[in-house]
Amino acid sequence: DAGVIQSPRHEVTEMGQEVTLRCKPISGHNSLFWYRQTMMRGLELLIYFNNNVPIDDSGMPEDRFSAKMPNASFSTLKIQPSEPRDSAVYFCASSPSGRAYEQYFGPGTRLTVT
Amino acid sequence: RKEVEQDPGPFNVPEGATVAFNCTYSNSASQSFFWYRQDCRKEPKLLMSVYSSGNEDGRFTAQLNRASQYISLLIRDSKLSDSATYLCVVTGTYKYIFGTGTRLKVLA
């Protein structure tokens, strides 16, 4: 079975550019999470969707970040404009109905903003 | 004070040793607790849940102490393959807070 799919796996961009990260959750899972991981701050929850609806976006750092989930099989995290401090690994995770604690993570997107 | 705190380590232990990590949390209303494992440059993976009565899975034992607000993970008979970073997770309503992890190195 395919796990959570993320693309791209690596992204290098210049400050000020728009960055779009993509995620395909595991089929049948109804919860989706976006996380950011850095050495300094560890793994931080950015936003959580349930049945394609954003439930908690209090972790989104600022207005430069936005996330969408237009359907059950696709989500995007967009950063516009990007800044060097956004450099991190961004993970997407999904979980089955009623078991939001049982999160399956994708391989992550390693973002470098120069 | 951070909501979830872990000793970053590294804990360097010989094969066969027993090692234990703690994770403290600040919100007494926290509902559920878990341990995840993350290998170097890989994604986190769920290791086990932490129940009030304790939870054992092979060489791994997880325990919860609500009075002192910490959870623990005990690994017996350490294997080289146990080398990883162990992340505790504390949850509340729609909140999933990960600790920054404790790094374990099992040495031959």
3-state class percentages of chain B: helix first, strand second, coil last, to nearest 5:
5, 55, 40
Q: What does the pLDDT read at residue A1? A: 64
Q: What does the pLDDT read at residue B30? A: 85
Task: Decide if B33 contacts B90 (C-beta within 8 A).
Answer: yes
| Spatial distance between the Cα atoms of B22 and B16, rounded to a whole number of angstroms | 20
CA-nearest residue of chain A to B85? Answer: A42
For residue B42, which residues of chain A lie inside 8 Å, CB to CB? 107
| Spatial distance between the Cα atoms of B94 and B35, rounded to a whole number of angstroms | 18
Task: Decide if B108 contacts B15 (C-beta within 8 A).
Answer: yes
| Spatial distance between the Cα atoms of B4 and B101, rounded to a whole number of angstroms | 10
Residue B100 Cα, gap to closest chain A Cα (Å): 5
Give first-to-last CA distance, chain A, whole Å.
Answer: 36
Number of CB pairs < 8 Å for A and B? 46
Q: What does the pLDDT read at residue B94? A: 63
Mean pLDDT by groups of 10 residues along chain B of 108 residues: 88 97 91 93 94 91 94 97 96 81 96
Task: Decide if A68 contacts A16 (C-beta within 8 A).
Answer: no
| Spatial distance between the Cα atoms of A62 and A87, rounded to a whole number of angstroms | 15
Is the pLDDT confidence value at A91 over 90? Answer: yes
3-state DSSP assignment of residue A54: strand
CA-nearest residue of chain A to B43? Answer: A107
Do B96 and A100 make contact, defined as CB atoms within 8 angstroms?
yes
Do B91 and A91 make contact, defined as CB atoms within 8 angstroms?
no
CB atoms within 10 A of CB B19: 19
CA-nearest residue of chain B to A103? Answer: B46
Residue B16 CA: distances (Å) to CA of B63, B66, B80, B86 = 21, 30, 9, 18
For residue A107, which residues of chain B lie inside 8 Å, CB to CB? 42-43
Do A103 and B46 make contact, defined as CB atoms within 8 angstroms?
yes
Do A42 and B99 make contact, defined as CB atoms within 8 angstroms?
yes
Task: Decide if A15 contacts A84 (C-beta within 8 A).
Answer: yes
CA-nearest residue of chain B to A90? Answer: B43
Do B45 and A105 make contact, defined as CB atoms within 8 angstroms?
yes
| Spatial distance between the Cα atoms of B5 and B70, rounded to a whole number of angstroms | 9
Q: What does the pLDDT read at residue B64? A: 95
pLDDT, tens only, A44-69: 999 999 999 999 898 898 899 999 99
For residue B94, which residues of chain A lie inside 8 Å, CB to CB? 48, 55-56
Mean pLDDT of chain A: 94
Chain B interface disruption, residue of A33, A37, A47, A99, most B CBs within 10 A: A37
